[in-house]
Structure 1
């Protein structure tokens, strides 16, 4: 039990180092190079690791910098797509949902334009819930 703080601290440092090394160079927080962050995490294990995690998460979840220039892109240039590259579930695919909506509207339009013909001769316009004239046989 007395080794638990040491193990948790080591795990935090390892996680912060791996996260720092795997992060994209253009997305590094506070403008410090990746090598500086690695040195800070190693020299100041607790503080450096916590600082990296807090600052990098804040930079990732902050509002996107609209129009700001990032290395390798022009100001306002193409931004990476947040849409997954693989197949998307149908209820998440905007094109699929738009096609469903167009198809529904087309069917409604066809139903309105189609003349209302009843194939059964002598049918009345009485609603289905209307009481019948002949209630049928009674048990008695």
Structure 2
């Protein structure tokens, strides 16, 4: 029984050390390591139940990590032009919006000037 618990502790310590910091759940890696070393059977079981990284298709190695260079491009609802025509339509709407903002700003400036003169 002692050898089984020792093997579990060694396995868990190695697993903590090899896990990436951003994938470890609930506590920092160092806290899990201390917990496993100070409370061998309880810490090991807690690591396996609550700290170990989730396994599955979403887990990548350090070199295969799919992190976009510009995460704002992955926002839901972001419209990306699929054709040159849709890009042109988007640019046309941007220009129209900018012109409308310039017109409103000019009207506001003119109104402020008139209020200042009165």
* Bigger helix fraction: 2
Q: Sort the TM-score into its range (normalised by shorter chain).
A: 0.3 to 0.5
Who wins on radius of gyration, i.e. which is larger?
Answer: 1
TM-score normalised by the chain length of structure 1:
0.39
Structure number with greater CO (CA < 8 Å, separation at least 6) is 2
